[in-house]
């Protein structure tokens, strides 16, 4: 399903409302809400709206926050997805409900540590109630980059990864986890994404060079929240 918004402002408002509605639904159904967040700049505005809506009737202490991916940097680093989210949203959330990717000696050790955290929390393949994802202009999502070995990972839940175009090394949840979520929601904004988004949404099932096109929930729903600029070629 696709929802197209006039501006990133209205997209962020809708994404925050979707978070709240999904959280209320999950908490009513099972007493908890497991959410995997994405990084980058697009979700930041949504986090700020959620922080502003804190008095909305949600049992924030029944929400458990994870990250679909992280840069291989300390949690205090300005590049950290966790730091961006903590600064924008998490100051009121109990620390034992927030599961950042641990920093370690190497990306592989950080990925292994996060995999262990997930195994301690989930008895089987994690099923997030909601998984937010972004999309890069190269078609990456989470930190599943074109050409990365992480794309081929079928058993590990977390993998080290990096973009062939350079940039910081990364840690990412893998397709088996991301595709097992009950709801997956892409947030895509900006004209620079338009060409890639057109290709991703029209990609053949076997398309490997556009990782975002390989997000096909095995039993959940997929929602694209897109602003008009990114949707301009659809
Ligand atoms: C990250 C993200 C990444 C992001 C896309 C889109 O760590 O950068 O998890 O996958 O979602 O790169 O980023 P923007 O929303 O900033 O364009």
Q: What whole-number distance in Å separates Cα of residue 144 and Cα of residue 115?
A: 16
For 58-108, the pLDDT digits (tens) are 888 999 999 999 999 999 999 999 999 999 999 878 889 999 999 999 999
> Among 11, 15, 40, 167, which is best to mutate for testing ligand 1, by the most ligand atoms less than 8 A from CB?
40
| Spatial CA neighbour of 41 closest among 8, 76, 7, 65 | 8
Q: What whole-number distance in Å separates Cα of residue 184 and Cα of residue 128?
A: 9
146 within ligand 1 shell (Cβ under 6 A): no
Question: Mean pLDDT lowest for which of 3-17, 69-83, 174-188, 200-214?
Answer: 200-214
- Write the residue with the smallest CA distance to atom 11 of ligand 1: 134
For 132-163, the pLDDT digits (tens) are 999 999 999 999 999 999 999 999 999 999 99
Q: Are 100 and 75 in contact (CB under 8 A)?
A: yes
pLDDT of residue 115: 98
Mean pLDDT of 7-34: 97
pTM attached to this predicted model = 0.96
What are phi and psi for residue 73, nearest 5 degrees?
-140, 160
Give residue 134 CA to ligand 1 midpoint distance, Å: 5
For 37-59, the pLDDT digits (tens) are 999 899 999 999 998 887 677 88
Give residue 218 CA to ligand 1 midpoint distance, Å: 23
211 within ligand 1 shell (Cβ under 6 A): no
pLDDT of residue 181: 98
Q: Residue 206 pLDDT > 80, yes or no?
A: no
| Spatial CA neighbour of 132 closest among 63, 67, 185 | 185
CA distances from 25 to 20, 42, 65, 93, 214 (A): 9, 24, 16, 19, 27
């Amino acid at each position: 399903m696709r929802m197209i918004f006039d501006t990133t402002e209205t997209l962020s408002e809708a994404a925050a409302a979707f978070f709240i509605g999904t959280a209320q639904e999950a908490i009513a159904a099972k007493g908890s809400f497991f959410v995997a967040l994405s990084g980058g700049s697009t979700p930041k505005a949504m986090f700020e709206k959620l922080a502003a809506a804190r008095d909305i009737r949600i049992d924030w202490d029944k929400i458990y926050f994870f990250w679909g991916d992280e840069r291989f940097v300390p949690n205090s680093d300005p590049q950290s997805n966790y730091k961006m989210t903590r600064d924008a949203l998490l100051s009121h959330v109990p620390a034992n409900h927030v599961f950042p990717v641990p920093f370690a000696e190497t990306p592989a050790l950080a990925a292994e540590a996060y995999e262990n955290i997930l195994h301690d929390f989930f008895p089987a393949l994690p099923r997030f109630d909601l998984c937010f994802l972004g999309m890069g202009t190269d078609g990456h999502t989470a930190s599943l980059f074109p050409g990365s070995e992480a794309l081929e990972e079928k058993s590990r839940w977390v993998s080290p990864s990096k973009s062939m175009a350079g940039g910081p090394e990364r840690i990412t949840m893998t397709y088996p986890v991301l595709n097992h979520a009950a709801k997956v929601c892409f947030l895509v904004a900006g004209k620079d994404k338009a060409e890639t988004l057109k290709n991703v949404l029209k990609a053949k099932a076997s398309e490997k060079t556009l990782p975002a096109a390989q997000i096909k929930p095995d039993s959940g729903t997929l929602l694209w929240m897109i602003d008009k600029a990114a949707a301009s070629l659809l």
